[in-house]
Amino acid sequence: MNEPKRVSSRKSGAKKGPQKFQNSFAFTHNKGSKTTKKILALPVEGLCTRCYDQIQWRKRYRKYKQLTVAATCVSCKKKSINKAYHVLCDACCAEKNVCAKCMESNEIVVEPVKMTEAQRMLEQKEIDMKLSTLRERERRSYLRKLERGDIEPKDILALETFSDFSDYSDSEPESGSD
C-alpha cells in the first residue's frame, strides 16, 4: 500500500537534533583584535540575570554587535538608547525598575567594578609606601592581618600615616621670643 508522504511542519525542512559533527576545540576569538578588546570592555548595566548572561554569551562568542546610531526608547519615544540590545533608556529603566532588554521586573544585576592592571599597580605602590612609613613590628602585623583576611588593602590605605609620631605632638605652645 502507498503510505502518505510526511510533510515537514517546520519551515524549510529544518531538522531537529544535535550537530552532525562534534567540534574538536572550543571557539576562541582573536584576542589581539581592537574590536574584541573594545567590545569586552563595554559595561553591561541595567539587565536582569537572564539578559545579562545572554549579552555576556554574545561578547564571549563574538556575536555582539554595537549600536551605530542611538535607538528609540519604547517607553518615552526618545532616541536615547546607546547600548546594544536595550529597548528602554536608562532613565525609563530606573524609573520603572525593570530590565532594559526584556522589560521584566526581575532583580537587576550590578556588574562589579573591575580594576585595570595600571590601577592595581598604583594601589599596590600606595600600599607599599604606607607600609614603609610604619615601624617594622606594625608593618609585619598588618601583613599578617592581610594574609589572614582580617583586613583589606583599602584599610591599610586609610591608616593615619603619622600615628607613629604621636610622641612628638605639635600641640605644645612655642615661645614667640628668642
Beta-bridge partners for 83: none
Confidence at residue 164, expressed as pLDDT on a 0 to 100 scale: 46
Whether the Cβ atoms of residue 37 and residue 91 lie closer than 8 Å to each other: no
Task: Give pTM, 2 decimals.
Answer: 0.55
Confidence at residue 171, expressed as pLDDT on a 0 to 100 scale: 52
Cβ neighbours around 93 below 10 Å, total: 23
Confidence at residue 3, expressed as pLDDT on a 0 to 100 scale: 59
19-23, 76-80, 123-127, 173-177 — most confident range: 76-80
Contacts 24+ apart (CB under 8 A), 80-86: 83/42, 83/45, 83/46, 85/51, 85/54, 85/55, 85/58, 86/46
Q: Is the pLDDT of residue 6 over 70?
A: no
E strand or H helix that includes residue 23: none
* 5-9, 43-47, 83-87: least confidently modelled range: 5-9
